[in-house]
Amino acid sequence: MAPLARHVERRTPFLAFLAQELAPREGRGLAVARIAAACTITVAIAMVFRIPLAAYMAYMVFLTSKDDIAGTAKMAVAGSLAITLAIIFSLGLAHFSLGDPAIRLPAMALTTFLAMFSARTFALGPISFLAGFIVVTMQSVVDEVPNPEVFTRTTLWLWVVVVVPVAVTMLINLLFGPAASAVAERGVRKVLTGLEAALTSGEIAGRLGEWRAILVPLAEKSRNPPAIHRLLDALIILEAYPDAIPPRERTHLSYLVRGCLNALERRNLVTEVPPEAESTPEALAATHAFAELQREFSRTPAPQPAHTEQKPRQLFVPDALSNPAHWQFALKTTLAIMIVYSVYTMLDWPGLLTSIVTVFFVALGSVGETVHKLTLRISGAVIGGLIAGLSIVFVLPHFTDIGQLCLLTAVVALFAGWVTTSSERLSYAGMQIALAFFMGMLQTYSPATDLTVLRDRVVGILLGNVVMTLVFSSLWPESAITRLRGALADALRGIAALVRSPQNAETNRQHTVEALARAENFEALSLFEMEMLPQQTHLPDLHGIQRLAGAAFVATGEPLARAVDAQAVASLGDWLDLAAHATAEGSALPSVAGDRPTAESETAAQGAVSQLRIEIERVSTSAALSPSVGGLHDAGQSRTL
């Protein structure tokens, strides 16, 4: 697998990306098999009992199925609750709006606004979002139903359309799905294995952020969250190493990582390698971090209750009413929904209903996120539609019973499920492959023969994406770079709190790690904005802040924390707070006062403080020299070991 990825990377970055995303990994095959089995059973039930909207029933499996049992159960409960609330509200609203567009259209707009606003501000936002989507979709098809009785019957059938696949998916996951703790352990093992291989080969460039993105969401699932936090700390400390780690040091680190893997897998533990007498500050910190991680794994030889400690959650986000971005996002989505509805209504083209679905599910906070998702949606719809079209023309004419249809469904679900189980950078394309295929194949209870459904779906997707792009890039455009600024500012605040308050080191380290993970995500999304939005200045280099965080973790952590000059480290917190404020406001970072300390005869602790100050100066300089995110991205990619 690794040689294949390296071979593809020499050809094109895109093929290298696909090779990485679609490569086999532990647990992926079983996850895909669960999705395919649930889809096949759902389609069989829909055909045998002649349940309408079989395509949406099969697609609900993809929406409900998650990596672990707990995630699937949460989605199942949310979906069932959302459809129940939506049906009650739709039937109640139909008494007033079914025959009066003057009531129905404002009700659609208001429902869309409230659904999208709550999705960003309400703790139960996903439920209100799904309920609002169903209500708006049902109101948009009122013109196509001949009488209120048909509308009522169709609305009630929706409960069956959602609950049956949700129940099937939940049952299969209860029988064959992994526990959340097993998924977390699998993720930790994947990161440690990749880290050991990268240290051995020297190909660690750009991988640290990728591994942190895997680990951050696993802390809440793990039975041993401290171990994941220690591993995240170690990955940040590795940022403090020079761009070319000496081979001897890489061998030393690789040996330590292998010891952590042995402890995780309950094999004979490897004796720790003591640091050399003249080790650098980052080497001392990394050695201690991996040694503590190995001990953390060794402390839990028997299964323990899953970690249940959670941060207190508020009903609404703190800035629900004060931040205009929330209502602006809801208003932009509402405007896009009403535009596409007006377009396909005036054209008398009801097949373009998928444009409303597109707007609902593509709408995201920034232009970069929206463009990224619409790219995946168009690509997936084209691939899924092509598979469905070829099947209708060349395969379905030879089918004679439901078993053959179920077999075809299983094969395509395996393919779409494999793509869906990729990371967030690609997974949405797999869901669109599935939806386009099901929409084309499962039109009625007999073999599909009409290709116009596929045509209408693709045109509807294109209409929704075009309208979304125009609206979101014209009205209050929210750039991913703006959100990148906020994440970088949060990271700087976390580092400032870390150097000032060693007693709260664990909390401040977690805050810093989470902020850097968000920043790395927004940097990747900003590449989809291209030249759609104006470039921004005074943006600190993400790679520089990663190195700054690594230097701060080294200076404030064991084994150097007791030996460093705490006052000298804490004094740098003032600059970090000012830099965080300047980054958030888009202004120039302050200059660094004082002289850089000399490196003559300094101890490891003094060297850690000196390196921290050097990294601060580099961040200050990079913000003045990097006018746009493009330079930032190029700098981050140029790191080699």
Q: How confident is the model at residue 276 (pLDDT cuts 50, 70, 90)?
A: low
Q: Of 240, 330, 76, whose CA–CA distance to 618 is shortest?
A: 240
Q: How far apart are CA 390 and CA 401, in angstroms?
A: 19
Average pLDDT value for residue range 121-145? 82
Task: Supply the pLDDT for residue 297.
Answer: 85
pLDDT band at 449 (very low <50, low <70, confident <90, very high): confident
pLDDT at residue number 99: 65
Quick one: pLDDT band at residue 176, thresholds 50, 70, 90?
very high
Confidence band, pLDDT 50/70/90 cuts, at residue 77: very high
* ω into 350 cis (within 30 of 0): no
Closest CA to 577 of 484, 497, 462, 475: 497
- The DSSP string of 58-73 is HHHHHHH--SSHHHHH
Residue 459 CB partners (closer than 8 Å, separation 6+)? 351, 352
Instruction: Express each pLDDT in 303-312 by its tens digit.
Output: 444 444 455 5
- Assess contact for 514 and 500: CB atoms under 8 A: no
Answer yes or no: is pLDDT of 178 > 90: yes
Query: In this predicted structure, what is the pLDDT of residue 301?
Result: 47
Going by pLDDT thresholds of 50, 70 and 90, the confidence category of residue 315 is confident
**pLDDT band at residue 530 using 50, 70 and 90 as cut-offs:** low
Q: Which two tokens stand for residue 598?
A: 């000399």
- For all residues of the chain together, what is the average pLDDT? 81
Every domain of the chain and the residues it spans: 25-178+325-474, 181-298, 481-529+536-593+601-637
* Whole-number pLDDT of residue 595: 54
Please check the confidence at residue 330 and state whether its pLDDT lies above 50.
yes
Q: What pLDDT was estimated at residue 578? A: 87
Q: How many CB atoms lie under 10 A from the CB of residue 30?
A: 12
So what's the pLDDT on residue 209?
Answer: 87
| Nearest of 102, 63, 90 to residue 154 by alpha carbon | 90
58: pLDDT strictly greater than 90: yes
Query: Residue range 601-623: average pLDDT?
Result: 79
What distance in Å separates the CA atoms of residue 515 and residue 576, rounded to the nearest whole number? 15
Confidence of residue 490 (pLDDT cuts 50, 70, 90): very high
Q: Could you tell me the pLDDT band of residue 8, with boundaries at 50, 70 and 90?
A: very low
Query: Could you say which DSSP state residue 204 is in?
Result: -
pLDDT over threshold 50, residue 517: yes
| Percent of the chain topping pLDDT 90 | 24
Q: For tokens 């081979």, what's the residue?
A: 247
Q: Tell me, what's the pLDDT at 639?
A: 38
Residue 230 confidence (pLDDT) = 92
- Taking alpha carbons only, the member of 376, 475, 484 closest to residue 435 is 376
> How far is residue 290's CA from residue 286's CA, in Å, rounded to a whole number?
6
3-state secondary structure 607-633: HHHHHHHHHHHHHHHHHHHCCCHHHHH
At 636, the pLDDT band (50, 70, 90 cuts) reads very low
User: Residue 414: is its pLDDT beyond 50?
Assistant: yes
265-274, 399-408, 518-527, 594-603 — which one is most confidently predicted on average? 399-408
pLDDT of residue 335: 94
Structure token digits, residue 419: 């793509």
pLDDT band at 601 (very low <50, low <70, confident <90, very high): very low
What single letter denotes the amino acid at residue 541? Answer: D
**CATH fold label, 481-529+536-593+601-637:** Four Helix Bundle (Hemerythrin (Met), subunit A) (1.20.120)
529 pLDDT band, cuts 50/70/90, is low
Residue 307: the pLDDT is 45
- Using CA atoms, how far residue 409 sits from 132, 173, 388, 430, 448, in Å, is 30, 19, 10, 14, 13
| Measured distance CA(605)–CA(373) in Å, rounded | 47
Helix axes 54-64, 427-441, angle to 10 degrees: 160
Q: What is the DSSP string of 344-394?
A: HHHTT-GGGGHHHHHHHHH--SSHHHHHHHHHHHHHHHHHHHHHHHHIIII
Supply the pLDDT for residue 1. 42
Q: Residue 11 above 60 pLDDT? A: no
pLDDT confidence of 234, banded at 50, 70, 90? very high
**Residue 623 in this model has a pLDDT that exceeds 90:** no
Query: pLDDT band for position 564 (50/70/90)?
Result: confident
Q: In sequence order, which ranges of 391-479 are alpha helices (DSSP H)?
A: 402-420, 427-441, 452-474
Please give the backbone phi and psi of residue 364, each rounded to the nearest 5 degrees, phi first.
-135, 175
Q: Rounded CA gap, 243 and 247, in Å?
A: 12
